[in-house]
Structure 1
């Protein structure tokens, strides 16, 4: 009954159904016993509205106490049948009391003659209406249970997806940290200032990355701050061999992106591109907003045999980004990569959003 009366609309519909049944019962009494219609309606409608609450609450509590599947079906049917018969006779008793009260008024439009046939009709109708109320409550209870189960499943899926995304975006290549610490160790005796600068950049990088962990989305501008810390560390290692070009178009820096979505691509560009080329090269990072879409590109020079690009590490980074894009945007985002002459490029396409709900 609580589920039915949870909203005003459901309560009104429930009472209107019983009011209609009361009018129907009054019409039947008037036709069957040649009772004036006003007398029949005065008897039937209040009776039916009382029974709406009596049968409704009784069926509700019995249905809630005996959910389908928890007890044998015959046992539940027998219990509801007994309750229906008892309430049917109680309805007859209430009807007689109500009719006696109407007769006391002495008005021509109040009171009817309750014949044995009408008494049987009231009891039988009470049993049938109780069965209707029980069936309605079982339907509502099962619907609410299915809806709650679906909501819990959806919440579980969202939690699992968020945990997976959190795991994916924290997969920073440990080689980067090891190489940085080794470089700091080597520079300590050779170039203390460079070692100190590298240490500060490394601290800033991890401070920035940890701060981004608390957010599902960050602006591209914030992501680029992290990228610059990362590349500053690598430039201490590689010196003049590593050059960087940025081309961030108008409106692109304000767009939201998953945290550390570009960092693995830039790390791959260093590890599988610059690192394997004695002469070094330039890493180019571009971002363009085109209407409702944001296009991000990372390109780097590669050696001729492309063996570094086919390495396992490169595939893990690209797979990581692809999974995170899929988890965050479904089919609305994508990633493509490939070689063009002596350059390897990765292009990301995703919705251009400037708020968590999107534009």
Structure 2
């Protein structure tokens, strides 16, 4: 709801409440003065709406000028006592003038006596105080809502900063490993080292396009994995095989950029890199209703526990932290070693560009 609509509804509800008070006062006037129902309504309803406007503006600005948390209680009570008394006196004066005018215009009118004026004075002061209390409640509600909005914005900014920090951990880690590989190939096979350098440059050029997005489609993430593994295949050759299968409806699902790359990098370093005959890295993804399930699986040496199996490497820790920052409890990552396979399973909400609109 926008601010203009909310303000119009508030004014309408305020006037409706005062109209109901006017009808109630008309009943009291009818019972106390003996005036007819029509004369009582004609007398009280215009006066009530007039007083509603006077109380509304006066009490509102006084509530803004004398906030309860910043002014002494005695000063606030004194100001509102004299303000209510002044407003009630003016209301009684207006009532006397309106009663005189009604006497000239109508055959039957309300007679304003001293006891009647005293009662109106007390009712007027009470209504003014009630209006002031209502304004204080509204101002407190608005203050709490603004504080909640600022807190939410702060949390979003902190979350965005955390996500950026976690993403920046990946690039130096991957770059360090890749440069080590290039350095090792330089003395053995300069041609392959040059190919790997070119592939690395292309990979980072592609990642620059992803940096501007908070989330990317799974199809773009898989294409990035293919580019990354093309770099590694310069070093491993046919020992490294990559297979992937993306189920129907999963390719357009969104996820944090480069969330799978550290998992695949771990699979190369701690899995395929430790096998003489190499092995396969598989990425499987499927959409199950409101969830996106992704599995990264690779061959490992069954007789040697990989260092990433304990979940203490920077890749697995980074992925777990990024999922927690982006999705909270809705995202999770689990890993397990089963025989000659190491599996990492990710579960996150199945979001698409259409669902974000």
Over 3 Å counting, the alpha-carbon distance change for 1:202 and 1:259 in structure 2 is same
Partners of 2:189 and 2:28 in 1: how far apart? 104
Partners of 1:244 and 1:209 in 2: how far apart? 20
Query: What's 1:215 paired with?
Result: 213
Query: What's 2:139 paired with?
Result: 141
| Aligned residues of 2:309 and 2:337 also touching (Cα < 8 A) | no
Q: CA deviation at 1:190?
A: 5.7
| Aligned residues of 2:308 and 2:316 also touching (Cα < 8 A) | no
Q: CA deviation at 1:266?
A: 0.4
Query: What's 1:306 paired with?
Result: 305
Deviations 1:216-261 (A, max 9, x none): 2211110011111111111222334323222333433222222111
| Aligned residues of 1:255 and 1:353 also touching (Cα < 8 A) | yes
Moved over 6 A (4+): none
Q: CA deviation at 1:182?
A: 4.1
Partners of 1:138 and 1:264 in 2: how far apart? 54
Q: CA deviation at 1:311?
A: 6.5
Q: CA deviation at 1:133?
A: 0.3
| Aligned residues of 1:4 and 1:11 also touching (Cα < 8 A) | no
Partners of 2:114 and 2:55 in 1: how far apart? 23
Is 1:351 the counterpart of 2:349? The answer is yes
Q: CA deviation at 1:132?
A: 0.6
Over 3 Å counting, the alpha-carbon distance change for 1:292 and 1:136 in structure 2 is closer
After superposing the two structures, state which structure 1 stretch, 45-54 or 234-243, moved more.
Answer: 234-243
Query: What's 1:103 paired with?
Result: 103
Query: What's 1:226 paired with?
Result: 224
| Aligned residues of 2:249 and 2:287 also touching (Cα < 8 A) | yes
Partners of 1:234 and 1:79 in 2: how far apart? 78
Over 3 Å counting, the alpha-carbon distance change for 1:275 and 1:222 in structure 2 is same
Gap regions ≥5 residues in structure 2: none
Q: CA deviation at 1:151?
A: 1.4
Q: Tell me the secondary structure at the aligned position of residue 286 of structure 2.
A: strand
Alignment map for 1:122-141 (pairs within 5 Å): 122-141=120-139
Partners of 1:278 and 1:173 in 2: how far apart? 28
Over 3 Å counting, the alpha-carbon distance change for 1:312 and 1:298 in structure 2 is closer
After superposing the two structures, state which structure 1 stretch, 211-220 or 85-94, moved more.
Answer: 211-220
Query: What's 1:21 paired with?
Result: 21
Q: CA deviation at 1:92?
A: 1.0
After superposing the two structures, state which structure 1 stretch, 169-178 or 223-232, moved more.
Answer: 169-178
Q: Tell me the secondary structure at the aligned position of residue 172 of structure 1.
A: helix
Give the TM-score of the pair, scaled to structure 1.
0.90
The size of the alignment, in residue pairs, is 354
Partners of 2:183 and 2:310 in 1: how far apart? 28
Q: Tell me the secondary structure at the aligned position of residue 71 of structure 2.
A: coil
Q: CA deviation at 1:184?
A: 3.6
Give the TM-score of the pair, scaled to structure 2.
0.90
Over 3 Å counting, the alpha-carbon distance change for 1:234 and 1:4 in structure 2 is closer
Deviations 1:100-131 (A, max 9, x none): 222233x303x322111011111111100000
After superposing the two structures, state which structure 1 stretch, 82-91 or 317-326, moved more.
Answer: 317-326
Is 1:79 the counterpart of 2:76? The answer is no
Over 3 Å counting, the alpha-carbon distance change for 1:223 and 1:199 in structure 2 is same
Deviations 1:43-69 (A, max 9, x none): 211111100000111000000111111
Partners of 1:322 and 1:261 in 2: how far apart? 9
Report the aligned-residue RMSD: 2.4
Q: CA deviation at 1:162?
A: 1.8
